[in-house]
Amino acid sequence: MNSGIDGAQPDAGAVRLLSLAVNGQRQQRAVAPDITLLDFLREQLGLTGSKRGCDLGECGCCAVLVDGRPMLSCLLPAADLEHSAITTIEGIAAGTALHPLQQAMIDEGAVQCGYCTPAMVINGVHLFASEPRPDAEAIRTCISATSCRCTGYNRIVQAFERTAERFAEEQP
């Protein structure tokens, strides 16, 4: 039924010490070998911005950046991420300054229930970091990594397009 080990004290015989960086901060924690990155973030670090929708890599809501690349944290054993740099949704805004995509998601009405929003932003941040002016196909491909049932995706596409326009204006 429920997978993962929520809030569990890891089995003393199996724990290993994991060192990694999360949102720029070095973390050293004991983890069980079967704990996923999603559980590690949500249950051990209390970073609940990454969402659990299926635990099977199907809905995409748990996406985080691992060394700059979007990955589904529900499929990654935390213990494999020694020395990795993880960025979660909590680490995207620079202080109070939102990433342009975050602001566009707000302004364009791309946020309804908000459950898919963190992963949409994570994937989008990676997209704009690697291709500041993505075409319509690239935008839809990026968005299709995450399941959204509220919006019909139109406003999310619009937010991505606005962001692309903004990057184009800044660096003509």
Partner 1 sequence: MNAYRIVGTPQPQIDARDKVTGRARYTDDIRLPNCLHAAILRSPHASARIRAIDTARAIALPGVRAVLTGADFERTFGVLPISKDEPALARERVRYVGEPVAAVAAETAALAAAALALIAVDYLPTTPVLDVRQALRPTDDPLHPELSHDNNLHKQVEQCFGDPEAGFAQASVVFEKRFSFPSVTHAFTEPHAVQVEIDGRGNLTVYSATQVPHYVHLALAQVLDIDEHRVRVIKPHLGGGFGGKSDPFPHEMIAARLALVTGRNVRLRFSREDVFFSHHGRHPTQLTMKLGFHPGRGITALTGDFLIDGGAYGSFGVVTTYYNGVLLQGPYPVPNFAFRCRRMYTNKPMCGAMRGHGGVNPRFASEVLMDMALVQSGLDPCQARIDLIHRENTLTINEFRITSVGLKRGLEEAMRRSDWRDKYGKLPYGKGIGVACGFFISGSALPIHRNRRPASTVRLTLEFDGAVTVYSGAADIGQGSDTVLAMMAAEVLGVDLGQVKVVAADTRLTPVDLGSYSSRVTFMAGNAARNAAIRMRRLLVAAACRLLELPAPEYRAPAPPEDRFRQGGRSPDFDADFLGANPDYDDGFEFADGRIRHLGSGRETGFLAAVHAAIEGPGVLQTVGNYRPPKLGGSFKGAGAGLSPAYSFTAFIVEVSVDPDTGFVKVDKATCAHDCGFALNPLAVRGQIEGCFHMGMGQALMEEVLHDNGAVQNAGFLEYKIPSPFEQPEIDLVPSTSDESEGPFGAKEAGEGPLAPVIPAIANAIFDAVGVRLFELPLRPDRVLAAMRKATAR
Nearest Cα to Cα of residue 118 among 146, 86, 76:
146
**Residue whose token pair is 């949102």:** 23
Residue from 36, 87, 102, 123 binding partner 1 (CB under 8 A): 102
Q: How do beta strands 85-87 and 16-22 pair?
A: parallel
Burial class of residue 146 (count of CB atoms within 10 Å of its CB; 0-12, 13-18, 19+):
buried
- CB 164 → partner 1: shortest distance, Å? 15
The four Cα atoms 127, 137, 160, 91 give a dihedral, to 10 degrees, of -20
Q: Considering only residues 22-81, where is the footprint of partner 1 by CB under 8 A?
A: 42, 46-56, 58-59, 61
- CB 162 → partner 1: shortest distance, Å? 13
Residue from 1, 12, 94, 97 binding partner 1 (CB under 8 A): 1
- Judged by CB under 8 A, does residue 162 bind partner 1? no
**Residue whose token pair is 């800044």:** 170
Residue from 20, 155, 162, 163 binding partner 1 (CB under 8 A): 155
- CB 18 → partner 1: shortest distance, Å? 18
Sequence-distant (6+) residues with CB within 8 A of 154 are none
Q: Considering only residues 116-135, where is the footprint of partner 1 by CB under 8 A?
A: 116-118, 121
Q: At 99, give phi and psi (nearest 5°).
A: -65, 145
- CB 1 → partner 1: shortest distance, Å? 5
Contacting residues toward partner 1, per CB under 8 A:
1-9, 42, 46-56, 58-59, 61, 88-90, 92-93, 98, 102, 105-107, 109, 111-118, 121, 140, 143-144, 147-157
